[in-house]
Amino acid sequence: MNPRAAIAAAARAQGFDAVGFTQAVLPDEVRARLDAHLAAGEHGSMEWMERRMEQRAQPRALWPEAVSVISLGLNYGPEGDPMAALARRSHATISVYAQGRDYHDVVKKRLKALGQWLAREYRGEQLKVFVDTAPVAEKPLAQQAGLGWQGKHTNLVSRRHGSWLFLGEIFTSLAIEPDPPGGDHCGQCRACLDACPTRAFPAPYRLDARRCISYLTIEHAGPIPEEFRPAMGNRIYGCDDCLAVCPWNKFAQTARAFSASEAAANPPLAELAALDDAGFRARFSGSAIKRIGVARFLRNVMIGIGNSGDPALRPAAQAHTESTDPVLAEAARWAAARLAA
Ligand code: B12
Ligand code: SF4
Ligand code: SF4
């Protein structure tokens, strides 16, 4: 059987919603754009982006045996409108990708199972699996493999799944006929650029991570700059606004693998503010949220409380104003002062 059809069928059997093939080579333009992003400092404090740039820009610099890349997408389309939670200001909004089980675990498990199938089927060939954390340019590879295109919000958009696809890859020594690359279907639309609460897009297709709520709440360790705090609203972990407004989402299906309860998507801020380290770990066991640790999480909750307009939440902020973590204590004082005004 032709490897393309057999691998695509095996990928679907593992629960992947999208699969495409490309050669393990990226054009020089990807490296040039990554360099420009770093030179402008748009990656903020994500210093790990500066390391292993050769590998990130070129698959064979990461693994010389790579001949083909199998790009895989897992749909995580939400059931309702993820932006509806933003109006419940005494509750938190947690971005869709983090509401269910940690996608790294879910995607990795499926990639490994598909990899085992490949190793059995094509003996003598080698492979490596990646999701998110390795120095791999996942979006350019997915576009080149025909899964979709990098939209103006910089994420991969698919005609079938909209903006809601997790990406993962299998690099393999097997030669597989490539797919045609995905074409850009953004046209005149600029909905994502206009929806961004912190104006994080200096231009279409370019993101200044330092202004992005996803970066500020997940990657950034210090105090959140005051200029961004009011615009964050109740978004305490990640942000979905630019993804949610994309018109291509109307073709997306709801994802069963990641469906979340209301308690996971939109929990009361007071309940979150009361978590201690053990409570935080227990509550977010198996979730991507656990990775940021309780102090950074509470810092974000304080910003949500400060933006809630709900004076009943003031004691929940005051409870942290004397925290031994100076970043959390400062965020708590900011929140308490906002609610006193
Ligand atoms: C660093 C990172 C972040 C950073 C920076 C995001 C960014 N856009 O770079 C932060 C923390 C902000 C972030 C946030 C999010 N992330 Co993130 N992140 C990554 C990571 C680890 C690396 C991305 C990267 O290399 N960035 C550097 C920039 C320069 O690369 P780039 O975006 O590809 O930039 C290209 C464009 O700018 C383009 N370009 C520049 N000029 C022009 C001009 C034209 C005309 C064109 C066409 C292109 C173009 O060329 C550049 C190079 O290819 C990837 C995983 C991975 N290993 O790839 C996940 C990843 C991109 N993240 C993902 C997700 C889900 C998110 C969030 C939605 C999470 C959330 N809900 O909060 C948000 C979305 C924010 C947004 N609008 O991008 C998914 C995206 C899946 C998809 N469908 O694309 C990925 C692929 C993880 C995964 N395995 O699924 N993320
Ligand atoms: S994730 Fe939110 S803050 Fe970041 S670019 Fe998109 S809309 Fe802006
Ligand atoms: S919202 Fe519009 S501009 Fe942004 S990615 Fe979707 S189609 Fe492209």
Q: Are 287 and 106 in contact (CB under 8 A)?
A: no
**DSSP line for 221-236:** -SPPPGGGHHHHTTEE
Looking up tokens 């990708």 gives 97
Query: Nearest bound ligand to CA 211?
Result: 2
**DSSP line for 149-175:** EE-TTSSEEBTTTBT-EEEEEEEESS-
Question: What pLDDT, in 10s, does the model give residues 91-112?
Answer: 999 999 999 889 999 999 999 9
Looking up tokens 């210090």 gives 222
Question: Which pTM was predicted?
Answer: 0.97
Taking 70 as the threshold, does the pLDDT of residue 261 lie above it? no
Question: What's the CA dihedral at 181, 35, 51, 139 to 10 degrees?
Answer: -20
Q: What is the pLDDT of residue 205?
A: 98
For ligand 1, atom 77: residue with the closest CA: 153
For ligand 3, atom 4: residue with the closest CA: 192
Between the alpha carbon of residue 193 and those of residues 188, 242, 298, the distances in Å are 12, 7, 29
Ligand 2 pocket test: pick from 241, 246, 249 the residue with the most ligand atoms within 8 Å of its Cβ: 241
Say how many Å lie between the CA of residue 296 and the centre of ligand 3: 31
Q: What is the pLDDT of residue 62?
A: 97
For residue 54, list its beta bridge partners. none
Q: What is the pLDDT of residue 254?
A: 78
Q: What is the pLDDT of residue 257?
A: 63
Say how many Å lie between the CA of residue 156 and the centre of ligand 3: 10
Say how many Å lie between the CA of residue 266 and the centre of ligand 3: 26
Long-range contacts made by residues 283-289, C-beta under 8 angstroms, separation at least 24? 286/101, 286/102, 286/105, 287/98, 287/100, 287/101, 287/102, 288/97, 288/98, 288/102, 288/103, 288/104, 289/94, 289/98, 289/237
Residue 268: helix, strand or coil by DSSP? Answer: strand
Active site members: 132
Looking up tokens 């200096």 gives 202
Query: Nearest bound ligand to CA 249?
Result: 3
Ligand 1 pocket test: pick from 16, 94, 214 the residue with the most ligand atoms within 8 Å of its Cβ: 214
Looking up tokens 């490539």 gives 178
Name which of 11-15, 97-101, 161-165, 217-221 the model is least confident about: 97-101
Which of 323, 318, 324 shows the shortest CA–CA distance to 338?
A: 318
Ligand 1 pocket test: pick from 207, 213, 292 the residue with the most ligand atoms within 8 Å of its Cβ: 207
Q: Are 263 and 91 in contact (CB under 8 A)?
A: no
* Predicted confidence band of residue 173 (pLDDT cuts 50, 70, 90): very high
Taking 80 as the threshold, does the pLDDT of residue 263 lie above it? no
Whether ligand 1 lies within 6 angstroms of the CB of 240 is answered as yes
Say how many Å lie between the CA of residue 5 and the centre of ligand 1: 29
Strand 93-94 and strand 235-237: the pairing is parallel
Residue 133: helix, strand or coil by DSSP? Answer: coil
Residue 132: helix, strand or coil by DSSP? Answer: coil
Strand 68-75 and strand 149-150: the pairing is unpaired
Strand 18-23 and strand 156-157: the pairing is unpaired
Whether ligand 3 lies within 6 angstroms of the CB of 195 is answered as no
Whether ligand 3 lies within 6 angstroms of the CB of 191 is answered as yes
Whether ligand 2 lies within 6 angstroms of the CB of 200 is answered as yes
